[in-house]
Amino acid sequence: MNRLYHYPLSPFSRKVRLSMAEKKIEVELVEERYWEQDADFLRRNPAGKVPVLKMGNRTMADSTAICEYLEDSHPTPPLLPNGAEGRYEARRIVAWFDDKFYKEVTAKLLGERVFRKVMGTGYPDSTNVKAGSRAVKYHLDYMAHLLDQRRWLAGNDMTLADFAAAAQLSCLDYISDVDWNRHEVVKDWYAKIKSRPAFRSLLADQVPGFPQPAHYADLDF
Amino acid sequence: MNRLYHYPLSPFSRKVRLSMAEKKIEVELVEERYWEQDADFLRRNPAGKVPVLKMGNRTMADSTAICEYLEDSHPTPPLLPNGAEGRYEARRIVAWFDDKFYKEVTAKLLGERVFRKVMGTGYPDSTNVKAGSRAVKYHLDYMAHLLDQRRWLAGNDMTLADFAAAAQLSCLDYISDVDWNRHEVVKDWYAKIKSRPAFRSLLADQVPGFPQPAHYADLDF
């Protein structure tokens, strides 16, 4: 059985969970408090981060390398377009969310509001929270700009770019930090992706000490 | 003509320069002081970072997406192995150097010793410099561990993983921050990659205020 070591509110774990579910690859989820740097876990991934995927006798780390592996080894349904240009655009947007959005928004909002408490590293830093709240607006505007020209973020087909974005946004939505009314086109996009069967497992996530808000799992939010 | 907006001591620019040179794709280099956030440059890449590649009428950003694009559009010579497993391993190591090595070593050593001066953001923070000097040893040990089992970092063929590593290490070597005598196997690996024609342009780089040390361009260092 495939096994994914993950954390429910890790956007990088969620990106892999969405890809596997969309490709109908069964996987057992094992919650990993990776910041405790358990020796067994560090043996599985010397980088000390989730997600880590065990598939057969292979143990794999790094969400981007894992998603590319899933694409190479389980090409149906494809999560990257066919041509080099389309693939570039999807990967550029994946990197945008994994790097820029994560650093500017997720790390600042989720990092301060949830992870500080969970990891026991003190009170939220309000400067970071304010910076994250400002930055999320700019990113939602950028998404609206893309979605005004295309059905999905990287083109007219759903790709890994949509999963990378939804992985970050769904974590923030769990703590009610996304203003879905800012752009109708972004809300419609999230409603479409949220209603996919691949999303169900994310909507069932529960984090002790942080009860799920009512709108989080509601498809008609 | 293809044009790459880069900065000489940007490891991510160097990774793209190495890939393009290895694939014999001609490109004009344009030095970009990206931290000045010039409006023209931000129009080319809203993420505000180098490298940015202009190829025909396409403008591309994000070094990982660019390298994958080059692989898709110019597959010869290949810089990723054939099978899904080999490709995974190469991409994992690329991410290791782009993310972990960069954050733990390059940002701390090059960031403090060079970029602070170039960008005018004050004096080096000695805590960061010390942390970077400690971390580089651990990474050199990890490379030796890999190279004890393989001819190149990701297997028996040279891949993008070697370019990602050499891109970071060559920047540090420019400021004499790599102890090549720590592991003979790592020194041999660097000597091999440094003597490739693709490396020549990197060895000619000059940064005002930071004269090239004698060993930097010496193939017999």
Does A3-73 match A84-203 in CATH topology? Answer: no
Q: Which residue of B has its CA nearest to A138?
A: B46
> In chain A, whose CA is at the least distance from the CA of B82?
A72
Residue A34 has a pLDDT of 85
Rounded distance between C-alpha atoms, residue B119 and residue A70, angstroms = 41
Rounded (10°) angle between helices B160-174 and B84-95? 20
Torsion sign across C-alpha atoms A156, A157, A163, A166: positive
Fold of A84-203: Glutathione S-transferase Yfyf (Class Pi); Chain A, domain 2 (1.20.1050)
A60, A92, A100: residue with CB nearest B88 = A60
Q: Does residue A193 contact residue A19 with C-beta atoms inside 8 Å? A: no
Q: Do A69 and B62 touch (CB under 8 A)?
A: no
Q: Are strands A28-31 and A3-6 parallel, antiparallel or unpaired?
A: parallel
Average pLDDT, chain B: 95
Tell which of B43, B45, B49, B64 to mutate to test the A interface (max A CBs under 10 Å).
Answer: B64
Residues B173-198: tens digit of each pLDDT: 999 999 999 999 999 999 999 999 99
Kindly provide the b/e burial profile for residues A197-209, where b requires at least 16 CB atoms within 10 angstroms of the residue's own CB. Answer: ebbebbbebebee
Residues B71-108 have pLDDT tens digits of 999 999 999 999 999 999 999 999 999 999 999 999 99
What's the confidence (pLDDT) of residue B42? Answer: 82
| CA distances (Å), origin A82, targets B33, B69, B73 | 35, 12, 12
The secondary element (H helix, E strand) that includes residue A54 is: strand A52-55
Whole-number CA gyration radius for chain A: 17
pLDDT in tens, B35-54: 887 888 888 887 778 999 99
pLDDT computed for residue A48 by the predictor:
78
| ipTM for the assembly | 0.94
Name residue, tokens 């009610």: A176
pLDDT at residue A40, rounded to an integer: 83
Q: Is A64 an 8 Å CB contact of chain B?
A: yes
CATH topology of domain A3-73: Glutaredoxin (3.40.30)
- Residue segments in chain A with a per-residue pLDDT below the cut of 50: none
Give the chain B residue whose CA is nearest to the CA of A63.
B92
Contact A209, A117 (CB under 8 A): yes
At residue B138 the predicted structure's pLDDT band, cuts being 50, 70 and 90, is very high
Please, what CATH class does the domain formed by B84-196 belong to?
A: mainly alpha
Provide the residue ranges of all domains of chain B, joining segments of one domain with +: 84-196
- Asked if the Cβ–Cβ distance from A62 to B96 is below 8 Å, we say yes
Cβ count near A173 (within 10 Å): 22
Decide which of B33 and A11 is more confident: A11
**CA dist., res. B198 & res. B6, Å (int):** 16
